[in-house]
Amino acid sequence: MGWEGWFSIGIAVLCFTTLAVTRYSPDIVMVGGLTLLLLAGVLSPEQALSGLANEGMVTVGVLYIVVAGLRETGGIGWIVHSVLGRPRSLLHAQIRLMLPVATMSAFLNNTPVVAMFIPAISDWAKRNSLSVSKLMIPLSYASIAGGACTLIGTSTNLVVNGLLIRETESEGLAMLELAWVGIPVMLMVFIFISFGSKWLLPERVPAISRYDDAREYTVEMLVEKDSVLSGQSIEEAGLRQLPGMYLIEIERQGQIMPAVSPYEILHDGDRLVFAGVIESVVDLQKTQGLKPASKQIYKLGSSRQDRVLVEAVVSDSCPLAGKTVCKGRFRNFYNAVIIAVARNGKRIHQKIGDIVLRPGDTLLLESHHSFAEQQRNSRDFFLVSEIDGASSPQYQKSMLAMTVLALMVISVTAGWLTMLKASLLAAGMMIMTRCITGREARRSVDWQILIVIAASFGLGSALHSTGAAEHIAVLLIEFAGGSTGISLALMFFVTALLSAVATNNAAAVIMFPIALTTANNLGVSIMPFVITLMIAASASFATPIGYQTNLMVYGVGGYRFSDYLRIGVPLTILVGLTTILVVPQVWHF
């Protein structure tokens, strides 16, 4: 191994150390390391940028659009209610989350499974007052464990199986053969997460809970006729789980019902008056079966999907200051409708149409996209800002979006299309059928995650092309001293180490010839080594860059690099011990 190999190892160590002990953004750190490798001549420009054209990276990016289509049509809400349900505790929540995720990941590519569940779990955690940081790593780990149970559960298994068929006379593995070791591994992950995450996972408090003095809006909503909410209690409808918001009263046929019981049954036409923070007001706008109480909103002349929510602060030079919303004819004046009003943290008891506007009032408006541009420099308002991700779901298209997702999954499972082709087709169908607009599709992609994935491929390429990864692997295997059991154990932990610092597929490809050589030198069957290699390459628990799903939950959960080390290292050891004990009992040497 030349100086290039040592330089690559040094850059890898520098990147991981920086991520572990500082709060620098992972995309900046990884791109910085890639830049140093490029400047030193270790990587050519083509090698350094190869991650940008990597099929896995592009697939993750396209899947963000598919998931956004589900979100914009209310499909995510269906997942929350029908699959996740209502947890009784954090432990119960983690179990309810991990079981379906692991099951789906066993038969589907785990990347789209995680992509689909991320927004669902974010909403679920918020509604049930759970810390999202206690759920996102379990989501990723459950998908990894589930993928290890079948041959098609992860691309790594398929890669290693292909190498096995090509390099030996074996017919390869059966579809469910890996379940003999995959299920014990999955159970180990479940047990460890359920009982160890209380101490090992961080408690990242959601931003919404930190603003105890946040401005409080008063907002009125109507229960639509023949809606899904009619006949449900307040609690069953999920209207008590919105953080930072509470139901003040219900007006029913002219009668006011204050201090509403959570068991009160909703009726068609009920007018619900809420008070709360902006995030929960936005959630109310997206709740199926509710609509804004203002009749003015239906006079804006376009569908709700083509409108946005905007916050605007009334200035002392606003011509409508001192007038009621109704008499001032706010909609005619600004072509926007007031959804909610906040005033110095005080609750406003009047209906929106009867509120007298004052300078300093913060208005939540539903308007066309042009409103913010037109009024941003207007003297009528101190501040005008558009709220991201506040569009109302198109519930009438939810089944269409779910069908598109199902077709994508079926086409990949049946082998008709690759994951990339299927996801591109699904994203195109989401846009063509107007489940999501082009504007929302562009905004839905998390470019920071994609940059980290692309850069990690470049770093893995450096370790592979310079021979650094193989050199380390061979040295560690030599420590086994001819012992079959120790060789198998080293095979697992070296592969897991390479998977943590490069990628799982790269680790599998690098380690396969070493596994083959080791088995031949020891005069034993290669199968225990191949199975161990498959599990170890997928056991990427210790770092966020080792597996795509770990990266996908990195930012959403508010994690740091050290969080993965704290929970991932002991979990990797336990999974390794489980694998080493089970594999020789099923696949004999």
* Band (80; pLDDT cuts 50, 70, 90): low
Q: Give pLDDT, residue 390.
A: 58
* Band (29; pLDDT cuts 50, 70, 90): confident
Q: How large a percentage of the chain has pLDDT more than 90?
A: 12
Query: Residue 493 carries which DSSP code?
Result: H
- Whether 533 and 512 have beta carbons less than 8 Å apart is answered as yes
Given a cut of 70, whether residue 282 has pLDDT beyond it is: yes
Q: Give pLDDT, residue 75.
A: 72
Q: Give pLDDT, residue 205.
A: 56
Given a cut of 90, whether residue 575 has pLDDT beyond it is: yes
Q: What is the pLDDT of residues 342-401, one digit of tens each?
A: 887 666 777 778 888 889 888 888 887 778 778 877 888 888 888 766 566 677 788 888
Q: Which residues contact 419 (CB under 8 A, 6 or more apart)?
A: 55, 59, 109, 111, 112, 412
Q: Which residues pair with 308 in a beta bridge?
A: 367
* Band (20; pLDDT cuts 50, 70, 90): low
Question: How large is the average pLDDT for residues 568-580?
Answer: 94
Question: How large is the average pLDDT for residues 289-305?
Answer: 66
CA–CA separation, 552 vs 585, rounded Å?
A: 36
- Whether 365 and 339 have beta carbons less than 8 Å apart is answered as yes
* Band (209; pLDDT cuts 50, 70, 90): very low
* Band (211; pLDDT cuts 50, 70, 90): very low
Over the chain, what is the mean pLDDT? 81
What 3-state DSSP class applies to 129?
A: coil
In this structure, the number of other CB atoms found within 10 A of the CB of residue 321 comes to 17
- Whether 149 and 179 have beta carbons less than 8 Å apart is answered as yes
Given a cut of 50, whether residue 213 has pLDDT beyond it is: no
Backbone angles phi, psi at 130, to 5 degrees: -110, 150
Given a cut of 60, whether residue 298 has pLDDT beyond it is: no
Q: Give pLDDT, residue 183.
A: 94
Pairing mode of beta strands 271-276, 245-252? antiparallel
Q: Give pLDDT, residue 210.
A: 43
Q: Give pLDDT, residue 429.
A: 93
Q: Give pLDDT, residue 255.
A: 83
Q: Give pLDDT, residue 516.
A: 79
The domains found in the chain, sorted by start residue, are 3-204+448-586 (no CATH), 211-386 (3.30.70.1450)
* Band (208; pLDDT cuts 50, 70, 90): very low
* Bigger pLDDT: 276 vs 313: 313
Place of tokens 């989401």: 430
Place of tokens 């599998």: 508
Q: Averaging pLDDT over each range in 52-56, 79-83, 122-126, which range is the top one?
A: 122-126
Q: Give pLDDT, residue 142.
A: 94
Residue 27 tokens read as 């995309």
* Bigger pLDDT: 192 vs 473: 192
CA–CA separation, 42 vs 10, rounded Å?
A: 12
Given a cut of 70, whether residue 73 has pLDDT beyond it is: yes
Q: What is the pLDDT of residues 125-166, one digit of tens each?
A: 877 778 889 999 999 999 999 988 887 777 778 778 877 887
